[in-house]
Amino acid sequence: MFIGDEPIHINAEKGSIAPLVLMPGDPLRAKYIAEHFLDNAIHDEFVIEEKNVANLRNMLGYTGFYKGIRVTVMASGMGMPSMGIYAWELFHYFDVEKIIRIGTCGAVKPTVRVPELILAQSAYSESNFAYTFDNYDKHITYPSNTLNNTIMETAEELNYKLHVGDITTMDVFGPYIDYDRVLNRIPKELDIMGEEMEAFALFHIANHFQREASCILTAVDSKFSKTVLSGEERQNSLNEMITLALESIIK
């Protein structure tokens, strides 16, 4: 195995990333959080090269202060391979202690309405991500119980409605396929509330490093509803998720 002294995908100075990290998938959402929630945010540009494609893609990260506590917000990109790269480098090279993924999902349970929040108590996936990583051959990964409990307590303090249950992490964007076919293969004892694309990998990498990770999701669509959020509604609902994550990670 080759592990160099410097990260390959995160172009940041040692010490410029806080031990507490929020990870949205979208780089522009990271920028939005820094501009609207963090004080004195400094910007580092994270760049990866897409091989066989003659262009560069920016992965944005910002470090600032939330209520006087230093926090970094950094994008993960889409899918487990991208999340796996950035989470691994954050834990290995920058000694990050906690990561909360904040993302969107499709609700697959009728009790979860758009735009309510879900806290993942496990992530189920048919992916071989973990098996390839270190021969982990199970299909479920788990978040930090300690961090999850803090998030639940904080949601209660803020009077936020928070569903707590299992989610599924998929290799394919759910709305583009008949994902009922996939859902029907999931063990019935799991209480699947939403489907997304990154949490399984984040939990596995965090557990490998014996660090803490959790995932809060906003349901932005549902197989049981034709509700479509306006731009303002989507932003406001994401603001609730962002606030919950920030308030939780600083405790």
Sign of the CA dihedral running 200, 150, 72, 105: positive
Is 121 among the domain residues?
A: yes
Band of pLDDT at residue 236, cut at 50, 70 and 90: low
The answer to the question of residue 202 being in a domain is yes
6: in domain:
no
Q: pLDDT tens digit string along 20-77? A: 999 999 888 988 998 899 987 665 544 333 221 222 257 888 889 999 999 999 999 9
Range of the domain at 68: 20-249
What's the CATH number where 37 sits? 3.40.50.1580
| In a domain? residue 240 | yes
Averaged confidence pLDDT in the chain = 89
- Tell me whether residue 8 is in a domain: no
pLDDT at 55: 24
The H or E element spanning position 197 is none
Least-confidence region, from 22-26, 32-36, 129-133, 165-169: 32-36
> Is 25 inside a domain boundary?
yes
Contacts of 18 (CB under 8 A, 6+ apart): 63, 70, 71, 72, 96
Query: Is 179 among the domain residues?
Result: yes
- Nearest-angstrom CA–CA distance, 218 and 130: 25
5: in domain: no
Question: Positive or negative, the Cα torsion across 175, 176, 181, 183?
Answer: negative
| Measured distance CA(250)–CA(246) in Å, rounded | 6
221 labelled catalytic: yes
Rounded CA gap, 162 and 172, in Å? 26
As for how many domains the chain has, the answer is 1
Which is catalytic among the residues 26, 178, 180, 221?
A: 221
